[in-house]
Structure 1
Amino acid sequence: MQKAAVPYGSDVSSGTYACCDCGYEYSNTSKTSLPPCPKLEELPHSLHAWRILSGRGDAVDDPYPNGR
């Protein structure tokens, strides 16, 4: 089952993600770990996660397969 959101730092497949706290959209084209939201210092963030908009979300070798 695909997660609805993945925490900052998770290894993910390519896709588009939206910050769960502020809605900022981030796209990546290769497997990489998700960075913190670039608006983290400007706006309050408590969830520290990305919502999956497109793509498969967590990569098989996700360092946080059960979330944090």
Structure 2
Amino acid sequence: MKKDEVPYGSDVSAGSYACADCGYEYANQSKRSLPPCPDFKVIPHPKRAWKILTGAGDAEQDPYPNGR
């Protein structure tokens, strides 16, 4: 089953993502760890995750940051 959301710090494929808490959209053109939402310190972000809009989401080699 494909996940709908990936936590901050996940290694992901290229695609677009939206903050699961506030909806801020972020596009990633290469594999890299997803940063925290830029509005993280402005409003509460209890999910601390990105919703996958396009792309494959989490990289199979590193499905969760910090061993989650």
TM-score (norm 2): 0.90
CA distance in 2, matches of 1:17, 1:63: 16
Aligned to 1:58: 58
CA distance in 2, matches of 1:62, 1:11: 6
Aligned to 1:31: 31
Structure 1 segments of 4 or more deviating over 6 A? none
**Structure (1/2) with the larger helix percentage:** 2
Aligned to 2:8: 8
CA distance in 2, matches of 1:43, 1:18: 15
* Structure 2: segments with no counterpart, 5+ residues: none
Deviation at 1:32, TM superposition (A): 0.5
Deviation at 1:5, TM superposition (A): 0.2
Give the residue type in structure 2 aligned to 1:9: G
CA distance in 2, matches of 1:12, 1:38: 18
* Structure 1: segments with no counterpart, 5+ residues: none
Between the two proteins, the alignment pairs up a number of residues equal to 67
Deviation at 1:62, TM superposition (A): 1.6
